[in-house]
Amino acid sequence: MIIFSGRLFPVEIGQTLTVVGRASNHAQRIDIDLLSGNNHGVDVGDIQLHMSARFQANDTSIVRNTHVRGAGWMQEERRENLIPFNTLNPIKRGGDFKVVIFVDQSA
């Protein structure tokens, strides 16, 4: 597993974040987490965006969620509820991927 952890601040409304990579041939999932606070373990804060592309036999969805400190995980959203994209997970094991995240004010 390869983990990137670094600062992306200041992230502002209207910005676009692009994540590119390649899923390993044996990946079970790819997780992208955008956290508030600092990344030194002192004040991690909330997970503003959790995105998980899953490759298990019984779950090939893209899951999105938010984790609020003190309140826990919010309601999970899955790839299949994104209209008009009612298709299977486009991120594949062993394949290159590109995820574009547009930062706005909506929840």
> Do 20 and 4 meet the contact criterion of CB atoms below 8 Å apart?
no
Percent of the chain with pLDDT over 90: 9
pTM: 0.75
How many Cβ atoms are within 10 Å of 62's Cβ, its own excluded? 21
User: Which tokens hold the place of 41?
Assistant: 């373990």
pLDDT, tens digit (0-9, with 9 covering 90-100), for 67-90: 988 899 999 988 654 545 555 677
Among 32, 49, 51, which Cα is nearest to 106's? 49
What pLDDT score was predicted for residue 71?
A: 92
What is the spatial distance between Cα 34 and Cα 50, in angstroms, rounded to a whole number? 7
pLDDT, tens digit (0-9, with 9 covering 90-100), for 6-26: 666 677 888 888 888 888 899
Q: Are strands 62-68 and 47-54 parallel, antiparallel or unpaired?
A: antiparallel
Percent of the chain with pLDDT over 70: 73
The answer to whether the Cα torsion of 31, 7, 96, 13 is positive or negative is positive
> Do 66 and 51 meet the contact criterion of CB atoms below 8 Å apart?
no
Helices and strands: H and E segment counts in the chain? 0, 7
